[in-house]
Amino acid sequence: MASLSAQIPLCFALMMATWLFIGVNGSIKGGQREFDYFALSLQWPGTICRQTRHCCSSNACCRGSNSPTEFTIHGLWPDYNDGTWPACCARSQFDVKEISTLLDALEKYWPSLYCGKSSTCFSGKGLFWAHEKHGTCSSPVIRDEYSYFITTLNLYFKYNVTKILNEAGYVPSNSERYPLGGIVSAIEKSFRATPEVACSKEAVEEIRLCFYKDFKPRNCLSLETSCPKYVSLPAYVSMGSGESESDTAWISESDDEAL
């Protein structure tokens, strides 16, 4: 992957498209070659929620005291070793009924952290994961919608990055700076492969864990990082649900009630 910052806007652009999913025969239509490895992309709510200025009900940044305080899932992305990724795979309709038993877990561990208004939330379609088109490109390793989501959740539970960092002393803080190298080596020690870390200014925004197609850990590709040598891991601060443009996040009981 060339860079995370390049991928994320593209990812969002593609989310606008209809859910595409591979047919049961596992063939990739449209002549795209099979991907090489997976990246489990995790996002840090403390950093992303700081950018929230407006809230909609599906934005987990706006859940007050129930807002996430751990890394949450951004997606499981199939990638090529040359730094690119398959973009357009075979079509199949996203069907929320297929993952009805996973919805509670998805709401909790794979929430949207972005939208400000329901009307603009992923083109008004609401569900964050309904736009994760990456499942469609994960064939033939992952063959259907349910498998894509349960596989991703299981990897997320197995490698608890929040726990790894906390145990190494990297706890959420709005004043500390931590060495990027320390964060990377804490993960390497536990995960036994090198992750990729992306930042928004100096704050950790995403951590990616990479996997071979049999889900054994492997090094991520990117030698570049958008992070400085010392990074922060901001603590979550509840966002107001109103129209406040204030840079200072704030908590009030009336906001929690409104959510």
Ligand X SMILES: *[C@@H]1O[C@H](CO)[C@@H](O)[C@H](O)[C@H]1NC(C)=O
Residue 178: strand pairing partners: 231
Q: Is 70 a catalytic residue?
A: no
Any idea what the Cα angle at residue 12 is, between residues 37 and 160, rounded to 5°?
Answer: 50
By the 8 A CB rule, do 197 and 204 touch?
yes
Output 107 or 202, the one with its CB closest to ligand X: 107
163 binds ligand X (CB under 6 A): yes
- Among 46, 70, 77, 187, interactor with ligand X by CB under 6 A: 70
160 binds ligand X (CB under 6 A): yes
The residues near 71 (Cβ < 8 Å, ≥ 6 apart) are: 42, 43, 44, 45, 161, 162, 207
Output 94 or 191, the one with its CB closest to ligand X: 191
158 binds ligand X (CB under 6 A): no
d(CA 137, CA 140): 8
**Cβ 247 to ligand X shortest distance, Å:** 30
Q: Is 54 a catalytic residue?
A: no
d(CA 149, CA 5): 24
Query: Choosing from 134, 145, 196, 206, which is the catalytic residue?
Result: 134
- Among 32, 92, 118, 166, interactor with ligand X by CB under 6 A: 166
Any idea what the Cα angle at residue 143 is, between residues 138 and 144, rounded to 5°?
Answer: 105
Q: Is 132 a catalytic residue?
A: yes
Query: Choosing from 34, 54, 70, 132, which is the catalytic residue?
Result: 132
Residues labelled catalytic: 74, 132, 134
Residue ranges in contact with ligand X by CB under 6 A: 70, 109, 157, 160, 162-163, 166
